[in-house]
Amino acid sequence: MDLKTYIRDVPDFPKKGIIFKDITPLLRAPEALEFTVDALARPFRNQKVTKVAAIESRGFIFGSCVARILEAGFIPIRKPGKLPWTTRRNEYQLEYGTDALEIHEDALSSQDRVLLIDDVLATGGTAAAASCLVRELGADLVGVAMVIELSFLHGRTKLNGIPVHSLITY
């Protein structure tokens, strides 16, 4: 399936000069959504993943479905102030500003093998911050899976050799 046909370019969003890759056409097409979730999980089926961690908010859509396929638990990684328990925090640079992510301190342990999911890998700052949180809690990060990779932004370089699986590359 050619998933690129389900991605809409939105110029000047969230600010001038950025071409946003909109996944909502993919989400509203059941066959594309099913294909995407299965394709994200496929390379990790034999990796003994115990937890799927996903980044707020679009990562949650895919991450929870992948967790179900892999028979793993689901761990939300959220913006500051959104989690109700004691958290770990990591601040990072975006392609258009700064932000931070948090995870519950008791979400993962050294016994966990984690797959990290999000919708887009751009500059790599968000994924790198999330991967740091996973590792700070002692878990083994087995890979990162993204629907879209903007390869011209070289986001993989910030992931320091973590295996990256992306379905669509621009």
Catalytically active residues are 58, 95
CB atoms within 10 A of CB 113: 17
**49: Cβ contacts below 8 Å, ≥ 6 apart:** 70, 72, 113, 114, 115, 142
* C-alpha span between 106 and 58 (Å, rounded): 23
Contacts 24+ apart (CB under 8 A), 78-82: 78/102, 78/103, 82/56
**H/E run at residue 42:** none
* C-alpha span between 68 and 165 (Å, rounded): 18
CB atoms within 10 A of CB 162: 17
